[in-house]
Structure 1
Amino acid sequence: MLLGVIADDFTGASDIAATIAKGLDGEGGLRTTQFLGVPTAPAAAGVEAGIVSLKSRSIPAADAAAQSLAALDWLRAQGARQIVFKYCSTFDSTPAGNIGPVAEALAERLGAKGVVVCPAFPGAGRTIYLGHLFVNDRLLSESGMENHPLTPMKDPDIRRVLAVQSRGKVGHVAQPIVAAGSDAIAKALAAASETLVVVDAIGNDDLTAIGAAVADAPLVTGGSGIARGLPHNFIARGEASGSGAGAPAVNGPEAILAGSCSRATRAQIAHHRERHPVEMIAVDAVMDGHFDREAVLRFVLDNAGHAPLVYSSADPEDIAAAQARYGREAVAEALDGVFGNLAKDLVTRGLRRLVVAGGETSGAVVGALDLSALTVGREIDPGVPVLVSETAPRLGLALKSGNFGAVDFFDKALAHIGGSA
Structure 2
Amino acid sequence: MPLTLGVIADDYTGASDLANTLTREGVRTLQTIGVPDAALALPDADAVVVSLKSRSVPADEAVAMSLAACAWLKARGASHILFKVCSTFDSTDAGNIGPVTDALRAATGAAIVPVTPAFPETGRTVYMGHLFVGTVPLDESPLKDHPLNPMTDSDLKRVLGRQSAGRVGLVPLKEVVAGAHAVAARLEQLALDGRTAAIVDAVFDSDLEAIGTAAAALPLSTGASGLGLGLARAMVAEGRVIRQAIDSAAIARGIGGLAAAVAGSCSAATLEQIAVAEATMPVLRLSAERLVTHPDEEVAEALAWARERLGTGPVLIAASADPQKVAEVQARFGRTAAGLAVEHGTAAISQGLVGAGVRRLVIAGGETSGASVDRLKLPAFLVGPEIAAGVPLLRTEGQAGAPMLLALKSGNFGGPDFFGKALAMMGVA
Give the TM-score range, shorter chain: over 0.9
**In structure 2, the residue corresponding to 1:374 is in which secondary structure?**
strand
- Residue type matched to 1:414 in 2? L
In structure 1, the partner of 2:251 is: 248
- Residue type matched to 2:411 in 1? G
- Aligned to 1:185, which of 180, 183, 186? 183
Q: How far apart in 2 are the matches of 1:204 and 1:232?
A: 11
**In structure 1, the residue corresponding to 2:272 is in which secondary structure?**
helix
Q: For the Cα contact (< 8 Å) 1:116–1:197, is it kept in 2? A: yes
Alpha-carbon shift at residue 288 of structure 1 (Å): 2.1
In structure 2, the partner of 1:280 is: 285
In structure 1, the partner of 2:29 is: 32
Q: For the Cα contact (< 8 Å) 1:30–1:245, is it kept in 2? A: no
Alpha-carbon shift at residue 244 of structure 1 (Å): 4.5
- Aligned to 2:408, which of 374, 399, 410? 399
Structure 1 window deviating more from structure 2 (303-312 vs 280-289): it is 303-312
In structure 2, the partner of 1:77 is: 75
In structure 1, the partner of 2:168 is: 170
Q: For the Cα contact (< 8 Å) 2:236–2:243, is it kept in 1? A: yes
Q: For the Cα contact (< 8 Å) 1:359–1:401, is it kept in 2? A: yes
Task: Answer yes or no: is 1:373 the counterpart of 2:407.
Answer: no
Q: How far apart in 2 are the matches of 1:168 and 1:54?
A: 24
Structure 1 window deviating more from structure 2 (229-238 vs 78-87): it is 229-238
In structure 2, the partner of 1:26 is: none
Alpha-carbon shift at residue 43 of structure 1 (Å): 5.9
Off by >3 Å, runs of 4+ in structure 1: 236-239, 244-247
- Aligned to 1:416, which of 412, 422, 425? 425
Alpha-carbon shift at residue 36 of structure 1 (Å): 0.3
Structure 1 stretches lacking a partner, 5+ long: 24-28
Q: How far apart in 1 are the matches of 2:203 and 2:314?
A: 37
Alpha-carbon shift at residue 239 of structure 1 (Å): 3.6
Q: How far apart in 2 are the matches of 1:80 and 1:334?
A: 38
In structure 1, the partner of 2:22 is: 20
- Residue type matched to 1:258 in 2? A
- Residue type matched to 1:339 in 2? T
Q: CA RMSD in A?
A: 1.5
- Residue type matched to 1:138 in 2? V
In structure 2, the partner of 1:334 is: 341
How many residue pairs get aligned? The number is 415
In structure 2, the partner of 1:214 is: 215
1:304-348 Cα deviation digits (max 9, x unpaired): 353311111111111111011111111111111111111112112
In structure 2, the partner of 1:270 is: 275
- Residue type matched to 2:201 in 1? D
Q: How far apart in 2 are the matches of 1:148 and 1:114?
A: 30
1:224-271 Cα deviation digits (max 9, x unpaired): 110112223333343433114445213321111110001111111111
Instruction: Quickly say closer, same or farther: Cα 1:166–1:284, change in 2 above 3 A.
Output: same
Q: For the Cα contact (< 8 Å) 1:43–1:78, is it kept in 2? A: no
- Residue type matched to 1:21 in 2? T
Q: For the Cα contact (< 8 Å) 2:117–2:225, is it kept in 1? A: yes
Q: For the Cα contact (< 8 Å) 1:113–1:192, is it kept in 2? A: no
Q: For the Cα contact (< 8 Å) 1:32–1:244, is it kept in 2? A: no
Instruction: Quickly say closer, same or farther: Cα 1:397–1:220, change in 2 above 3 A.
Output: same
Structure 1 window deviating more from structure 2 (344-353 vs 163-172): it is 344-353
Q: How far apart in 2 are the matches of 1:338 and 1:298?
A: 14
Q: For the Cα contact (< 8 Å) 1:32–1:245, is it kept in 2? A: no
In structure 1, the partner of 2:314 is: 307
Instruction: Quickly say closer, same or farther: Cα 1:409–1:105, change in 2 above 3 A.
Output: same
Q: How far apart in 1 are the matches of 2:214 and 2:428?
A: 37
Q: For the Cα contact (< 8 Å) 2:29–2:49, is it kept in 1? A: yes
In structure 1, the partner of 2:237 is: 236
Structure 1 window deviating more from structure 2 (99-108 vs 301-310): it is 301-310
**In structure 1, the residue corresponding to 2:265 is in which secondary structure?**
coil
Instruction: Quickly say closer, same or farther: Cα 1:419–1:385, change in 2 above 3 A.
Output: farther
Q: For the Cα contact (< 8 Å) 1:9–1:360, is it kept in 2? A: yes
1:9-58 Cα deviation digits (max 9, x unpaired): 000000100111111xxxxx211110001112266241111001000001
1:74-113 equivalences under 5 Å are: 74-113=72-111
- Aligned to 2:389, which of 377, 382, 388? 382
Alpha-carbon shift at residue 295 of structure 1 (Å): 2.8
Q: How far apart in 2 are the matches of 1:206 and 1:238?
A: 20
**In structure 1, the residue corresponding to 2:411 is in which secondary structure?**
coil
In structure 2, the partner of 1:296 is: 302
- Aligned to 1:6, which of 8, 11, 15? 8
- Aligned to 1:258, which of 238, 244, 263? 263
Structure 1 window deviating more from structure 2 (301-310 vs 384-393): it is 301-310
Q: Between the two proteins, what is the percent identity of the paired residues?
A: 48
- Residue type matched to 2:30 in 1? T
In structure 1, the partner of 2:133 is: 135
Structure 2 stretches lacking a partner, 5+ long: none
Alpha-carbon shift at residue 300 of structure 1 (Å): 2.4
Structure 1 window deviating more from structure 2 (332-341 vs 130-139): it is 332-341
